[in-house]
Amino acid sequence: MSNLGHSLHSLVRIALFLIIWAVIWLPIALAVVSRGKWQTAAPTPNKNRQKLILLFSLYSLAPFLIWQLGLKGVTLTQIGIVLDARLFQSILSGYGLAIGCLSLVYLWEWGLGLVRFSPPNPLSLQTTFLLAAVSVFVAAVEESVFRGLFLYWLWQDYNWGVAASISSLLFAILHLIWERENTLPQLPGLWLLGMVLCYALLTDNNSLGMAIGLHGGWVFALACLESCSLIEYKTDLPSWLVGSSQKPLASLAGISVILLAAIALYLGGANGMGGKF
């Protein structure tokens, strides 16, 4: 399989990458659905399990495709994958920052009487480990694709702001693949999330570590909260204000979490503003 050459415009390269990814994945997805006895009217836990199986089958192809289509004449370092101890330190720092920002917003909402904390259903060690592993896997793949390869390609043709905006727009729109009803109201929030994750790449000296950590930390924390039923949203308040478990980024509360992280990144110092940025 040949690489997507530098002579092509970045948007064309991205389109070809996504088309090839979809063409390779489609027969795999059909086989998974066929063998798994899919139930469209399945209960929510089964739906989540089915979605996770499909997502894993799709995302498992990403490293191979990045290697085969994106890394001819491009190094891992150029797309933000710096394999050293600092990468893992940044990922852990990102997890801490993501969980901290989310906790602050929930505590603020609780203090204002907007949400309630209900007695949680304790998570088993096995479930917690699984959620942590899934969060790292999802974040690492999505960041390598959107803030890694795609953003690097876009930087060849656009300035940083335009490149980050296009990458974030693609990131938001492609989430519609999994669920349209709950994703549509979250598109602005997903775009903003993408922009903050692009900024995290800059503040971490062009490494994806902080972006992976932030992304994974939010996925992990929200999955844990949903699984243990800790947060109870008041039904008499608008979801656009306080949020909901199904639409966390379609609310002022969700946007506040992202903005808090952006402020923390800014105050922490932009260490990666040299070079072409």
Domain boundaries, given as residue ranges, for the chain: 1-73, 76-268
- Contacts for 170 with CB less than 8 Å, ≥ 6 apart: 14, 146, 150
pTM score, two decimals? Answer: 0.90
Q: Residue 270, exposed/middle/buried by CB under 10 A (0-12, 13-18, 19+)?
A: middle
Phi, psi values for residue 145, rounded to 5°: -80, -55
pLDDT number for residue 39: 56
DSSP class of 116: E
Distance CA 179, CA 57 (A): 17
Q: How far is CA 112 from the centre of its chain?
A: 29
- Contacts for 164 with CB less than 8 Å, ≥ 6 apart: 151, 154, 194, 195, 198, 199
State pLDDT tens for residues 98-108.
Answer: 999 999 999 99
Distance CA 43, CA 40 (A): 9
3-state DSSP assignment of residue 220: helix
| pLDDT tens, per residue, the chain with 277 residues | 456 656 688 999 999 999 999 999 999 998 888 876 655 555 555 566 778 888 999 999 999 999 888 777 788 899 999 888 899 999 999 999 999 999 999 999 999 888 888 877 888 889 999 999 999 999 999 999 999 999 999 999 999 999 999 999 999 999 998 888 888 999 999 999 999 999 999 999 999 999 999 999 999 999 999 888 888 887 777 877 887 777 889 899 999 999 999 999 999 864 444 333 3
pLDDT number for residue 93: 96
In sequence order, what E strands does the chain have? 115-117, 231-233
- Gyration radius from the chain CA atoms: 19
Phi, psi values for residue 204, rounded to 5°: -105, 35
The tokens for 169 are: 């727009």
pLDDT number for residue 239: 79
